[in-house]
Amino acid sequence: MKVVVPVKRTPDTAGEKVIDADSLTVDREAGESVLCPVNEFSIEEAVRLKEKHGAEVTVLVVGPEEAQPTVRKALSYGLDAGLQITDEAIAGSDALGTARVIAAALEATEFDLVVFGGQSTDARTSLVPAAVAELLGLPSLTYTRYLEVDGETITVHREHEEGWDVVTASLPAVVSVVEAINEPRYPSFKGIMAAKSKPLETKSLADLGVSADEVGAGAASATMYEFAPRPPKEAGTVIEDDGSGAAAAQLADWLVEKKFV
């Protein structure tokens, strides 16, 4: 079985986000970028498939040359090989543009199962996995909290507000997992060292047969026109209760003023 795990290089969630004034997109070089933490769950699930079924697992990254450490980090968990799609024309792509690139990369790759994280920590759209499945004409199994592969069939528990549904599909298929699916392991020292020498293939849009007009900021359906820095925190309103009951009236007036009631 061949498994592909698309991952993303995202700004550190603990860092301050900076918007580039010219492109109106996140300046990914303004702070530290890391392997998206949500991808640790999809990677862990792929490693478990490798251990149980002998799956061959490839990590897929769409990003600039600077994203190579993200590939190596993913490989350190025990994945087998990396594929990086690098092209300046991809910069500024929205969810659909990104999905087009990933789908094209998958079309040029042998796979039985694609395992996504549920969302990325920078965009949080949760759109890319389903868009990739649609572009490839494959089953889309989203919000997966449990998965089992039996021959050519995959069975998942699809999480929702009232519990979960049991869904089955034939392989190949596209899955996106939620954080409740597992407990990610830490890379071992042996895995970290081995990741440095594992195969990593790099491709461009031309290699995939994707036109630059189909991706990037120019092809994005969503457009940002302006932005403003987050305003500084202001001092809160303190209402003291002197026992006269006036504090309750003041609190009620404040709630009305702020349109909470």
Whole-number average pLDDT of the chain? 92
Q: How far is CA 154 from CA 43, 151, 168, 177, 201, in A?
A: 17, 8, 6, 13, 28
Question: What's the average model confidence in pLDDT over 112-133?
Answer: 92
Asked whether the whole model's pTM tops 0.95, one would answer no
Distance, in Å, from the CA atom of 63 to the CA atom of 66, rounded to the nearest integer, reads 8
- Backbone phi and psi for residue 174, each to the nearest 5 degrees, phi listed first: -120, 130
Residue 17 reports pLDDT greater than 80: no
Give helix then strand counts, H and E, for the chain: 7, 11
Distance, in Å, from the CA atom of 6 to the CA atom of 82, rounded to the nearest integer, reads 10
- With beta carbons less than 8 A apart as the criterion, state whether 175 and 154 touch: yes
Using 50, 70 and 90 to split pLDDT, how confident is the model at 221? Answer: confident
> Does 42 or 243 have the greater pLDDT score?
42
Distance, in Å, from the CA atom of 202 to the CA atom of 204, rounded to the nearest integer, reads 7
**pLDDT, position 226:** 83
Beta-bridge partners for 7 = 61
Question: What's the average model confidence in pLDDT over 53-80?
Answer: 95
What confidence tens digit (pLDDT) does each residue in 86-113 have? 999 998 899 999 999 999 999 999 999 9
What confidence tens digit (pLDDT) does each residue in 137-187 have? 999 999 999 999 999 999 999 998 888 999 999 999 999 999 999 999 999
**pLDDT, position 105:** 97
When the candidates are 3.30.160.60, 3.40.50.620, 3.40.50.720, 3.40.50.1440, the CATH number that belongs to 2-219 is 3.40.50.620
**pLDDT, position 233:** 85
